[in-house]
Amino acid sequence: MAGSDTMTFSSKFARCGATVGVVACAIAGLGGGVAAPTANAAPCTASGLAATAGPVFSEVGSYLDAHQGANDVLTAAATQSPDEARSALTGYFTGHVGEFLALRSMTRPLSDLRAQCGVAISPNQFLTLYETLSSANIG
């Protein structure tokens, strides 16, 4: 990996401050995507985000199932301090450039959506939604 790619990965991952969501942040930090939002979903809406993010995470999940080393380092990162996780991920992906590039390519639709809509797609947003829906006593 070229020095600029390493710095790009490191600097993107450095923006993720909390241990909670570190795996999602690491995936998002890879820079990239998967599929564009469906024809029925306006890209800069919650439905557009879901239509884009769902396939991205599904593709990344399948990829990680087939690439145990990347899966292991991302799984371990979720229980490490942000500095430890950043170091482990940078070290792993510096030595496995092909995996880094593949994951970055898969996540490109999230970067494209961020650029198109001017919104950051953060793991904390997904976690907040999940926690809110899980704890709500409605209906």
Tens-digit pLDDT string for the chain (139 aa) = 444 444 344 444 434 433 333 445 555 555 443 344 444 567 788 888 888 888 998 999 999 999 999 999 999 998 999 999 999 999 999 999 999 999 999 999 988 888 888 876 666 676 777 788 888 777 6
Rounded to a whole number of angstroms, the distance between the first and last alpha carbons of the chain is 52
> What local confidence, expressed as pLDDT, does residue 40 receive?
55
List Cβ neighbours of 56 (8 Å cut-off, separation of 6 or more): 33, 34, 35, 106, 107, 109, 110
Rounded CA separation 61/13 (Å): 19
Q: What share of the chain is helix, strand, coil (3-state, %, to 5)?
A: 70, 0, 30
Read off the tokens for 96: 């496995």
> What local confidence, expressed as pLDDT, does residue 29 receive?
54
